[in-house]
Amino acid sequence: MSFIQLDRLAKQFGSTKVVNDFSLSIPKGAFVSLLGPSGCGKTTVLRMLAGLETPTAGSIIIDGKDVTNLKANQRQIGMVFQAYALFPNLTVAQNVAFGLRVVNKPRAEIDKRVAEMLELIGLPDLGTRYPFQLSGGQQQRVALARAIAPRPRVLLLDEPLSALDAKIRVSLRSEIRAIQRELGITTVFVTHDQEEALSISDQVVVMYKGIAEQAGTPFEIYNAPKTKFVATFVGTLNVLNGKVSNAARGEVEVDGTALTLSTPIAAAGGSSVSLAIRPESIRLNGAEACDTHVAAEIGEVSFLGSVIRIRAKMLGADVEFDMFNQPDLPPPLPGSKVTVGLNRRDFLLLDT
C-alpha cells in the first residue's frame, strides 16, 4: 500500500509546462530518487510535494489524506536543501532545535532531541559551534538533523550533496541512507547524479521533459530501460546502427556483420534500428565464452587503477569498454587488432 500517492500532477508557469501528468506511488519507509537532467521537472515535483508550489492539476495524498491544498507547515515534512540554509547567527544546537521551538516543545524535550540528533549525525561535541566554523559536509549533516528533529512523516532532499567534493559526497550519501534506514522515514531524493541514485535508492524515477520516463528498482532501470532516453541517460551506452535482416529470428546486420538478439524484433525487414550494449558486456578477456565474436581495433587506452578503460573501433562505431586491472595481464596496445566477445542477451533494441 502506498504511503505517498502523486496522481497526475502538472505544473505550468505561464505557457511553459514544467511537469505534465506525473504519477508516482511510494511505499512507507521507502527511499525514492527522482533522477534526471537539469530542467526535467524533478525539483518542481519535490516542491509541490513539500507545499512550496501549488500544482496546476493533480493531487497529492500522504498517508491517506489529500494534502494538495495544505500549506507547507501543515504537512509534517522535513526538507534539506542544496545550499544548507542554516541560520548563521545560531549555533549548531540552536539550528537543530529550531523546528522544535517553532511548535513550542518543552525545553527538556528539545535538549534531549537535539542531543539525540547530534549523536545520530556524528557531531555530538559540536553543538556550540556556528555554521561558519564547520566544513560543508558537517553543515549538511546539521541541515539533515534539523529536518528530522521534529519527526516528520516525509523527508525531502533537494540535491543535498551537489555542493560537496566527490569523496565527501560518497561518504555522506551512505550516512544519509543509513540514517534513513534507522529511522524508517519515507524519503524522496532529487539528484542528477546517476551513481548517487542507483547506489542508495529502493526505487528510481527517471524524469525527462516533465514526465516520468520510467520508475523501478536500480537493477531494473539499468538493465531493462524502457525508453531510449533512460537507456542513454543512465550509465554508459554504446550505440550501433543497423538494419533488420530477419525480424522473426531477431537478426540485425550491423556494418556487414550479422548480430542476433535474444528476442524477435517488432519491425519489418530492412528497417533501420539502433542496438545498444553496455561497456561491461563487451569482453576482451574470456571472449571465447561468448556467443558472438567481432573484430575490433584498439584506440585509446586509459589506466584508471582498478580498471582500464578502452576505446575501440568495431562494427563501424567507436565503442568503450573496461577490463579489470591484472598485474600479470597488460592491456592491449593502441592500434592493435583484437577479437571481443558479445552475448545476444546483452543487446538492447532502442527506438530510432
Residue 352 pLDDT exceeds 70: no
- % of the chain exceeding 70 in pLDDT: 99
| Opening angle at CA 240, ends 35 and 233, nearest 5 | 5
pLDDT of residue 219 exceeding 80, the answer is yes
pLDDT (0 to 100) of residue 166: 82
User: Which CATH number characterizes residue 208's domain?
Assistant: 3.40.50.300
The model's pTM: 0.88
The parent domain of residue 322 ranges over: 238-350
Dist. CA 257–CA 243, nearest whole Å: 11
The H or E element spanning position 95 is: helix 92-102
Summarised one tens digit per residue, pLDDT across range 203-212 is 999 999 999 9
Position 263 scores a pLDDT of 87
- Give the residue from 116, 70, 75 showing the smallest Cα distance to 93: 116
Residues 119 and 184 in one domain: yes
Contacts of 56 (CB under 8 A, 6+ apart): 10, 11, 12
Decide if pLDDT at 351 tops 70: no
How high is the mean pLDDT of the chain? Answer: 93
Give mean pLDDT, residues 264-287.
88
Model confidence at 34, in pLDDT bands (50, 70, 90)?
Answer: very high
List pLDDT tens digits, range 160-183: 988 788 888 888 999 999 999 999
Q: Which phi-psi region, left, alpha or beta, contains residue 34 (left: φ > 0; alpha: ψ -120 to 50)?
A: beta
User: Are 28 and 65 members of one domain?
Assistant: yes
Same domain, 70 and 219: yes
Query: What's the pLDDT score for residue 72?
Result: 94
Same domain, 67 and 143: yes
Same domain as 71, residue 36: yes
